[in-house]
Amino acid sequence: MEIIGVIIAGAIIGALARLVMPGRQGISALVTVILGILGVLIGYYLAAALGVAATNGIDWLRWIISIIVAVVLIAIYIAVTGRRGTSNTRI
């Protein structure tokens, strides 16, 4: 996979992962893309380890695994940094 393809796939996977997650995530677009890229790379290696064969068309199972990995990575990032959705309440 080429670097431009990985970046584009990472942006797509990161955005889809954030859509799947409940609630709001207070993370930037850059962090979303980086975690999406990691999700793509780990997801593709995990899919290969599970025996998912590459096809000529869209590898839906690889994309689903990548989205799941990205969701887990975003959840870990939020847990470690303590970032939640923005709140409009003032104290």
Q: Are 36 and 9 in contact (CB under 8 A)?
A: yes
Q: CA separation (Å) from 43 to 76, 77, 81?
A: 16, 17, 23
Q: Is the pLDDT of residue 89 over 70?
A: no
Q: Would you state the structure tokens that stand for residue 21, as one six-digit string?
A: 């997650």
Query: For residue 84, what pLDDT is reported?
Result: 60
Query: For residue 81, what pLDDT is reported?
Result: 86
pLDDT in tens, 31-82: 989 999 999 999 989 988 888 877 777 778 888 999 999 999 999 998 898 7
Residue 2's pLDDT band, with cuts at 50, 70 and 90, is confident
